[in-house]
Structure 1
Amino acid sequence: MSEKSSAEPLSMTVHSAPLPGERAAMTRRGRWQALGVVLICAMPVLASYYSFYVMGLSGKAYGDLIVPTVDIPESLSLRDLAGQPVSVASLKGQWLLTVVQPAACDKACENQLFMQRQLREMLGKERDKLDKLWLIPDDEPLRPELQEAVSKGIPVQTLRVPRTELEAWLKPAAGAKLQDHIYIIDPVGRWMLREPVDPDPSKIKKDLDRLMKANAGWDKPGR
């Protein structure tokens, strides 16, 4: 090192801490920015609700609109067919076409699962916005051929949930049973539609078409 450089004094820049008023302004700005991000992410879902509840589409819905909507319980005890726990958060991010049927799955159950598959396919290019979900309220094993059937193509997400927990969340229509309906859950995890007993698939599709059209900005691919 040269004598000139060694003789030069070190200089340090001291930055003053923000004043209390400045800190408050920075905090407010950060909160507004975070709120803006949340609103942008929520806009597609909000648009669908606007269409149903504000623009009058609610009167045209084939299924029963759930007012107010019911959040999926964060404490819901979900397990896959191998018995491994599944987080509630993993169900969010897609529309869910949901059936509740026992593992024994009789003819009516098989028909409902077939309808669930066909409804998704009938959506065409919009189908990747919709997942198929089968909630099983018991611990009985699935028949091998049935397990193979729900695993073909785009598989049905099949999860076990205690019946008491399901009954505390989803409600059938008066005089009906939990397994009599198809339930529609939105991407935020809210139950918002219950389709009728013995439904007309073409009319359920119209409900789904309206949701997908109102929710055109939601383009997250299927899981």
Structure 2
Amino acid sequence: MEAQAQLKPPVQPGRNRLTLIALIAVALAPVVLSYLAYYVWKPSGGRSYGQLLEVRPLPDFPLASLDGKPARLDEFRRKWLLVMVDDAACGKDCMDALFALRQYRLSQGKEMHRIERLWLVTGEGQPSAAALRQADGAAIRRALAPVPLPGELQRGIYLIDPLGNQVVRYPRDAETGRVIKELVRFLKNNESLG
């Protein structure tokens, strides 16, 4: 028995203390790192490419179809809505915006059924045949009152969510790829909306 007692290594109080400190450090590390990540190292991601708007319902305002029948924004509920506002003359900037709206929608692939495009025509007159071809299936309604969207209307493209809330405003000369990527995120992160 004396031989077995001699085989035991001597107890080292410093080693036990180091083990305890290591265990405490491992337990506290996630808490400390999460604090630092939240308060010190703020992530640079999460910024929107478009101008985020105050999320609030777009007020209903009088609309009509091009042939004069009354229309309402409610007909577009339950879909994401890309909206542009321009007069019936539809110059080059307007034609480019119509093309961009089509590209934004088509680029969503199997999710494109969740997006509707809307051209709100202001002023008198009818859009030209070329403008109607460029619209290529977009809904066209005449705004019979000022359009209650923020910013310079003829310089932006607006995203309205399926609940009718204004969400984002993109400049008409926005980088197409960045807008498309952001739309993908909106659709993916809000699958339950529409």
**Same fold (TM > 0.5):** yes
Contact 1:97 1:184 in 2 (8 A): yes
Across the aligned residues of Structure 1 and Structure 2, the Cα RMSD in angstroms comes to 2.0
The Cα of 1:65 is off from its aligned counterpart by 1.0
Matched, 1:158 2:133: no
Give the conservation status (yes or no) of the 8 Å contact 2:162–2:193: no
Give the 3-state SS of the residue equivalent to 1:113 in structure 2.
helix
Alignment partner for residue 180 of structure 1, among 155, 168, 184? 155
Contact 1:136/1:159, CA 8 A, preserved across alignment: yes
- On the 8 A contact 1:98/1:184 being kept in 2, the answer is yes
Percent identity over the alignment is 31
Q: Give the whole-Å Cα distance in 2 for the aligned partners of 1:77 and 1:170.
A: 14
Report the counterpart of residue 59 of structure 2 in structure 1: 73
Name the larger-Rg structure: 2
Aligned length, in residue pairs: 152
Aligned to 1:85: 70
Q: Distance between the aligned counterparts of 1:136 and 1:58, measured in 2? A: 36
TM-score, normalisation: structure 2: 0.72
TM-score, normalising length from structure 1?
A: 0.63
SS at match of 1:170: coil
Displacement, 1:91?
2.0
Alignment CA distance shift 1:57-1:160 (3 Å): farther
Listed as ranges, the matches of 1:173-212 within 5 Å are: 177-212=152-187
Equivalent position of 2:48 in the other structure:
61
Q: Which runs of 5+ in 2 are unaligned?
A: 1-42
In structure 2, relative to structure 1, the CA distance for the partners of 1:58 and 1:88 (3 Å cut) is: farther
1:107 to 76, 81, 92: 92
Query: Unpaired runs of 5+ in structure 1?
Result: 1-55
**Structure 1 residue 199: Cα displacement:** 0.5
Poorly superposed stretches of 4+, deviation over 4 Å: none
